Amino acid sequence: MEPLTMVLLAGGLFGGLGAASWAGLKAWQGWLELKRFELTHASPDRTLPPAGNRIELADLRERVRKLEAIAAGIDL
């Protein structure tokens, strides 16, 4: 192979690799920006507490109701 051909081939290869790397970096930055947006902007689901907390809260309310009934002398 001629030296000029090898230089052109290597330059094209490095150029293509650079372009692919640049495109991948832009895609990665876009994905990170999307995740930042999702974390900072409240969605309708974020107004409710997690399901585990709701279940625990319901359990505590039931226990308080039973204790109030015992204190009032009502048999359950």
Confidence of residue 4 (pLDDT cuts 50, 70, 90): very high
| Choice between 47 and 12, residue whose per-residue pLDDT is larger | 12
Q: What is the pLDDT of residues 50-73, one digit of tens each?
A: 677 778 888 889 999 999 988 888
Tens of pLDDT along 13-55? Answer: 999 999 999 999 999 999 999 999 988 886 666 566 667 777 8
Q: What is the rounded CA–CA span in Å between residue 56 and residue 63?
A: 11
pLDDT higher than threshold 70 for residue 75: no
Whole-prediction pTM value? Answer: 0.49
Q: What is the spatial distance between Cα 57 and Cα 76, in angstroms, rounded to a whole number?
A: 21
Cα 25 to its chain centre, rounded Å, is 20
